[in-house]
Amino acid sequence: MTILANASEILRCFSSDCTELTVTDVVTRLGMPKSNASRLMKAMREAGLLETIGDSKRHRPGRLFLNITAAFRSSSLLIQMAADAVARVSQTCGHTGYVSVRDGRDMMAVTDHPGSNALRVVSTLGRRLSAHASATGRTLLARETDATVCALYDHGLMTGPSASPQTLEALLQRLAQIRARGYDISSDAAAPGIDALAVAVADPAQGEMVSLCIVFPGAVVGSAERSAILASLCAEAAEIATITGDAAFRAEPLSLTGTDA
Amino acid sequence: MTILANASEILRCFSSDCTELTVTDVVTRLGMPKSNASRLMKAMREAGLLETIGDSKRHRPGRLFLNITAAFRSSSLLIQMAADAVARVSQTCGHTGYVSVRDGRDMMAVTDHPGSNALRVVSTLGRRLSAHASATGRTLLARETDATVCALYDHGLMTGPSASPQTLEALLQRLAQIRARGYDISSDAAAPGIDALAVAVADPAQGEMVSLCIVFPGAVVGSAERSAILASLCAEAAEIATITGDAAFRAEPLSLTGTDA
DNA sequence: GTCAGAAGTTGCATAAAGTGGAACTATATT
DNA sequence: AATATAGTTCCACTTTATGCAACTTCTGAC
């Protein structure tokens, strides 16, 4: 079934930054023989997993995928509760929010909730972020053991923004802090000038975990407002944790310490 | 590469109505041997194309797909222009709008634009609609020749809402009407009480086609408002048609005739 | 126009898969 | 505990994938 793995690798190349691929793109990105890439992409085309853009040689994902995200979203009660919760917080504070899941070392937004403020972070659904370099990612990583995290990053961290942990040691320290206080804050993770507040919550019965977050322009949101956002985010998350019976949940916004990265 | 076709068939089973699949679900839906389904799904799991929900036997699409929709959306200038256009119309009229593409006999929404009215159609991104039974679908089918349409429906139409064409002949007649006036109106296509206005526009250079539509509660929107919506929708589409050089474009909202289905 | 260079496809022998039936194991149901 | 249901594994057989190299387009330059 190596062909499925290869097909999956090709699909993984797509993102909001990479919207089309040619045969040679795949060859250089994945290092597979040209003949294989050509035949595989032809087969994927025939299966509807890829489609050519017009009659060019450029490929994009098949339209089959357009409704799969919806299936993912509604397959999980946790995601739905989290989406409702973030929507409420977003609505009251006016800032944009997300529900995200971790996929290995990457984070992906599952739902977005655009803010209503004049100056708000524009939502970028479908953007992939490094887990270690984002508040959402770290809150989820903090739910794992240090050993698991080390195994995940045994090839080292790809260095992200300067404000994020640059070494595995720094990351583990940060995770310990998150385990203690339950939430995380990031600066400039998704883009310069953007801060994020994130809390993770799990559904142990289903073995699922998501991170709720609110993003805002760091320069114009003071510590009082941050505390308020954090409080309501944690309150919502706590409610979900009670429903799912998430014993590991911890989010006590005592004070906003450590605004670094 | 039959395995890719099977994998694709499995992925096609997912929708907002079917969010999880077990091995036997696949066996009964696709009629493949149980052993195959089991092994294939295992392989898809390992490739990240599927994931189990918790540690149950139920499967959902892999999170890999969460960001693929974004790639599709931004791979096409036509889609982006259409999305902007529908967003503008939606904003001025307050009703929900969509940009949709056709995938065989199905329609899938690519972008959604929630309305602002108190009574608005709630957006259902990821829902699959029958092309022949929706205004968006028919505007795109009208761009094809009768022969192509006949070939597409050589196994007959799956009958949709009573207001939609029930026979191939009725469909072809309807398409002829659309070719003449350029737009289409549907009633109760997506859900009872919901009407839709749709216009198709193409990018001949890229070989792409999308349908722009506005959906609204049929009972409260009079013919004057419908005409206004149609006029602005057509104006936006016409602008796109000029840019792309879509010679086949036709949308002259002379009057709102034929409000049937 | 035609000629290089790149991009993409195809042929072929080898190697590695997928295939379906049946047996087996695990998981609910009573 | 017994039975039904769901899921996995085994195995011989068949089909398909693989990688190299040769071949065919496709582009852009002169």
Separation of alpha carbons A61 and A45, rounded Å: 9
Give one DSSP letter per residue of B95-113, joined into a string.
-EEEEEEEETTEEEEEEEE
Using C1' positions and the CA of B25, the closest nucleotide is D6
- pLDDT at residue A120 is higher than 50: yes
Tell me what the mean pLDDT of segment A21-33 comes to: 89
Tell me what the mean pLDDT of segment B196-214 comes to: 92
pLDDT value, residue A255? 52
The sign of the CA dihedral A236, A237, A243, A249 is negative
pLDDT in tens, A75-95: 889 999 999 999 999 999 999
How many Å apart are A141 CA and C16 C1'? 38
Neighbouring C-alpha atoms within 13 Å toward the C-beta of B92: 14
Residue B178: φ, ψ to 5°: -65, -40
Q: Are the beta carbons of B186 and B164 closer than 8 angstroms? A: yes
pLDDT in tens, B144-165: 999 999 999 988 887 777 778 8
Res. A217 pLDDT band, cuts 50 70 90: very high
Q: Which chain B residues are Cβ-neighbours of A14 within 8 angstroms?
A: 67-68, 71
Beta-carbon separation of B49 and A8 below 8 A = yes
Chain A, residues 103-132, CB within 8 A of chain B, namely 103, 108-110, 125-128
pLDDT in tens, A58-68: 999 999 999 89
Closest CA to A68 of B115, B57, B37, B21: B21
With CA atoms as reference, the chain A residue closest to B39 would be A1
Q: Are the beta carbons of A206 and B54 closer than 8 angstroms? A: yes
Separation of alpha carbons A120 and A213, rounded Å: 14
- pLDDT at residue A45 is higher than 80: yes
Res. A261 pLDDT band, cuts 50 70 90: very low
Worst-scoring range by mean pLDDT, B126-130, B136-140, B228-232? Answer: B126-130
Q: What is the dihedral of CA B251, B253, B257, B258, to 10 degrees?
A: 30
Picking from A68, A78, A84, A98 by the largest number of B CB atoms within 10 A of its own CB, the best residue to mutate is: A68
Cα separations in angstroms, B111 against B85, B194, B232 = 11, 19, 19
Q: Kindly report the three-state secondary structure assignment for every residue of B135-147.
A: HHHHHHHCCCCHH
- The per-residue pLDDT of chain A, averaged, comes to 89
Neighbouring C-alpha atoms within 13 Å toward the C-beta of B15: 12
Res. A260 pLDDT band, cuts 50 70 90: very low
With pLDDT > 70 as the criterion, what percentage of chain A qualifies?
95
Q: Which chain B residues are Cβ-neighbours of A210 within 8 angstroms?
A: none
Cα separations in angstroms, B243 against A23, A36, B208, B246 = 30, 38, 14, 8
